[in-house]
Amino acid sequence: MNKKLIKTVKKSFKTHFKAKPLLVFSPGRINLIGEHTDYNDGFAFPAAINKGIALAISKSNSNTSNVYAFNKEELYEFKIENLKPLEGGGWRNYVLGVVAELQKIGKQVGNFNSLFAGNIPGGAGMSSSAALENSFVFGLNELFDLGLTKNEMILVSQKAEHNFAGVKCGIMDQYASMFGVKKSALLLDCRTVESQPYKINFKDYKLMLINSNVKHDLSESAYNDRREVCEKVSKLLNVAALRDASKEDLNRIKTDITDEDYQKALYVINENNRVKQFSEAIKKDNIDALGNLLYQSHEGLSTKFKVSCKELDFLVDSAKKNPNILGARMMGGGFGGCAIILLKKDEFKTFKKDTAKKFKKRFEKDCSVYSVKLSQGTLLVK
């Protein structure tokens, strides 16, 4: 949770709407390993972080609702009936999506005033959108006594993303943001939508993120394309999802599919296995085994699943040359955003400076370096 952010929204809400709001904090997430496995009913290993969205919200007697985006200084007023996604609507579509998806499952949402602010860097692959969706679904559930469980709420958030933002995402982001556990990562089974928290202690190493500050315009359609390929291959394999397939199964249909589709499906099958190996290594406190799995994951994402980009490949390649780094890979949907790195604790400052310099020299633009804490999921702030 971020106290400063909460204080900001509380104060600003009072100025704008002259009322006492309900306050919600909803975090972003990282993912240790298990990328593009969630919509394949597979496993992922995400964690909520100490950066997120703070939302202030209260009922309104007017016949419209208001949302104020603090960081952008944009106010949006809308009627809550017959909601449709807006062309180029940006953040508005996440809010509209949540309200519309609540209505679709028969929940009565009244008018409200709201204001949110966030400190998750946009486009970094740290799920600012899931944090925003979750903050609204959680806030509205509380405000209008909708009686939803957290599991039901994340399905509303996910549907908002599918139908109002147009990204056919899996459940990892919304799950991690809603259910995060302090100092822990969640071994998430995306089929049962259940997780096991693992206390994380990387000993001499520390997690850090480097944002390439790249966001490709086509990332949404490329994401949906990847999902389609996975679904097409699992249909040919006659299984519900790639989670149910082995490499041997895939080899049986190798000649019936293109090599690109074969490589993509193979990546998913391998990545699922890596999540299990990674969690086993953590259980056994075998920190040394983690690095290699991270590098393998990146290799698959880059050369087989093809969702990396030159900036992320550069960051991971430079990491490999650095003896103070245990492992690294790109994180999230891809085509930009962050690399996640396990680095020796006392090397943080030097590494930050060196990487920034090298990155700038190579690409003539800046990267950003963050350290994050594994934190609690979406909550009502008392």
Residue ranges in contact with ligand GLA by CB under 6 A: 35-36, 38-39, 127, 169-170, 172-173, 332-333
For tokens 């298990």, what's the residue? 34
Give the nearest distance from C-beta 208 to ligand GLA in angstroms. 19
Of the pair 59, 191, the CB lying nearest ligand GLA is at 191
CB 136 within 8 A of CB 95: yes
| DSSP state for residue 379 in the 8-state scheme | E
Of the pair 107, 274, the CB lying nearest ligand GLA is at 274
The candidate with the shortest Cα–Cα distance to 242, out of 335, 197, 304, is: 304
The candidate with the shortest Cα–Cα distance to 6, out of 19, 28, 21, is: 21
| DSSP state for residue 21 in the 8-state scheme | P
Give the nearest distance from C-beta 254 to ligand GLA in angstroms. 25
Tokens of 360: 């700038």
CB 189 within 8 A of CB 195: yes
Q: How many CB atoms within 10 Å of residue 353?
A: 11
In the chain the beta strands, taken as DSSP E runs, fall at: 22-31, 43-44, 46-59, 65-69, 74-78, 112-118, 184-189, 194-199, 205-215, 325-330, 336-344, 368-371, 379-381
Give the nearest distance from C-beta 64 to ligand GLA in angstroms. 31
Give the nearest distance from C-beta 355 to ligand GLA in angstroms. 23
Of the pair 332, 336, the CB lying nearest ligand GLA is at 332
Of the pair 127, 378, the CB lying nearest ligand GLA is at 127
Give the nearest distance from C-beta 34 to ligand GLA in angstroms. 7
CB 53 within 8 A of CB 116: yes
Of the pair 66, 273, the CB lying nearest ligand GLA is at 273
Amino acid at 214: V
Strand partners, 196: 187
Active-site residues, by number, are 173
From first CA to last CA, the distance across the chain in angstroms is 12
The candidate with the shortest Cα–Cα distance to 65, out of 135, 103, 17, is: 17
Of the pair 169, 290, the CB lying nearest ligand GLA is at 169
Give the nearest distance from C-beta 170 to ligand GLA in angstroms. 3
